[in-house]
Structure 1
């Protein structure tokens, strides 16, 4: 019996190590700080519900008046083998579009205490959102949740639990669920593995529960060898069922008979699905057209006419 418990414990820890490797093994220290991108920032510590402290970057101007003129705030989540410095390319893009950004480091990553798990990362994400909502200025601005790879699953989960507080959702190269990802790589083992699976991240289930009025931007690289692009396509299809009163089957009917679409749509659809032919799992912001897709979505949802972009101070 003791050996049985040992095997179960090994399976329990092993899957966490596979899903969150940088939370269990030493990885390279933060490669860049916001200074490298000439971004104004603060090192902040978040405190989660279970009293874990998280070191994060808050990208925003020091002058209160400039912060008041910002267009909103991003809460950003990175991939499983990354760190908060991996998000700085995205934070820089957001900042130069007139937004603030909070780049979140998970528990167990870098100098943060604790061990990562699905429940733990959910608490980390909630602490980040609550931090922004507790700020007297940032709380008055639109809030955008962004996630890359595993961070996309964290972002979808957080948004599904706080949809009334989130103004837009952006995800890049993320998956439909952990079991689906395993199925694609080890189809013969999935039934056996699923019995012991504790890390699920069921994004496909959660994204269809989001309000149809919530704008979603999906950014997909067709050359992604880590998370096949089919995952993003499936997430997109499921997300679009939100816009039809009959759900999935009504959406299928509209795909077959486009002429009836205008009769069923509940509101103008603000979602965007951007596919990059040469996009790989990481470094998507370096691709031609990426910045434009990002900015055009933000400009559509948060028109500049109502605010003065932060970056006017740089000119």
Structure 2
């Protein structure tokens, strides 16, 4: 019998070797396979094949193909405003002699960055609210590896995709005249924050919903079994460190679901603290001012989960009011810019 059963020492060594092998395999899967967990672009099933079009919802649109700097084709949707659509907020008064192009240029442009599941087609009803109710131009971004876009998703890739979309707007003969608002849900919020931090002078405002401080800090909650390996997460999306790079004069609306089962509301609260710090008192010409905080707002929805916060009562009213309030902000920004240009011209003339 003693020759049949392995010794305790042999058993222990075998167990240790097996554990080490499984641990190494597990760590390898976590490190190299995390993109499949973070960017489940094929979920729900069919998301890489079946992509709804705005026309399915009776919305006019342009099928837009954007080529990125690393030669990836993104297939997005552009919904430019139209004078004759006949709906929207009552405050919009369209002069009869205003051309279609002038009307488009007079309205804000919303860049939509969706969450990590599904495709842009699933978010068309949300785009419709921006388009119909708020009369915004809407650019629905489709990340690489999502929907019908080429490539595979990654943090580096999505950052390039977002910049490609912004460059399209800022180089467009009509859209470049419009205020640009970034709307991001979940990981889309991280994409929006990153883009704004790298283009502080081009972004007018941000609307952020249920996003996180960073992916490594989210792992222990979203994937508890992988919590001990959070340090291996190479997809950082470190929004907490990028918020301070966004000017305090850039308005930000933060919308949090108190019952979010994926991103704990504490993440949004930490980001809100970072946003609020942009409004700390600063001395300007000898006087103290609270800069920026009055242009930021945080709202928490008691019954909001990760995927249904946008259906909660008061959500879209808050977004609509926020966007309507940007008109005075844009006019002030244009006045300051004009004043600065005049001062610069005067200085050059005096020289």
Q: Give the counterpart of 2:130 among 91, 94, 106.
A: 94
1:7/1:144 CA distance change after superposition, 3 Å: same
- Measured in 2, the distance between the counterparts of 1:304 and 1:192 equals 45
Aligned-residue CA RMSD (Å): 2.8
The aligned counterpart of 1:292 is 317
Q: Is the 8 A contact 2:113 2:141 kept in 1?
A: yes
The residue that corresponds to 1:216 in the other structure is 252
Where 1:274 maps in the other structure, the secondary structure is strand
The range that moved more, 59-68 or 267-276, is 59-68
Deviations 1:258-290 (A, max 9, x none): xxxx94513562111121111111233322111
- Of 168, 176, 189, the match for 2:213: 176
Change (3 A) 1:237 1:305: closer
- For these two proteins, the number of residue pairs brought into alignment is 288
Structure 2 regions of 5+ residues with no counterpart?
1-20, 84-97, 332-351
User: Alignment partner for residue 35 of structure 1, among 47, 55, 65?
Assistant: 55
Tell me what 1:128 maps to: 165
Distance across 2 between alignment mates of 1:236 and 1:87: 25
SS at match of 2:245: coil
Cα contact 2:189–2:210 (8 A) shared by 1: yes
Runs of 4+ more than 4 Å apart: 3-9, 23-26, 185-191, 303-306
Normalised by the size of structure 2, how large is the TM-score?
0.74
| Higher CA-based Rg | 2
Q: What is the rounded CA distance, in whole Å, between the counterparts of 2:74 and 2:258 in structure 1? A: 33
The 5 A counterparts of 1:1-315 are 10-22=29-41, 27-28=46-47, 29-30=49-50, 32-61=52-81, 65-70=99-104, 71-96=107-132, 97-185=134-222, 190=227, 192-194=229-231, 196-244=232-280, 263-267=288-292, 269-302=294-327
CA distance in 1, matches of 2:225, 2:35: 21
Q: Which runs of 5+ in 1 are unaligned?
A: 247-261, 307-315
Displacement of 1:170 after TM fit? 0.9
In the TM superposition, residue 181 of structure 1 has moved relative to its aligned partner by 0.3
- Provide the rounded CA distance (Å) in 2 between the counterparts of 1:50 and 1:24: 25
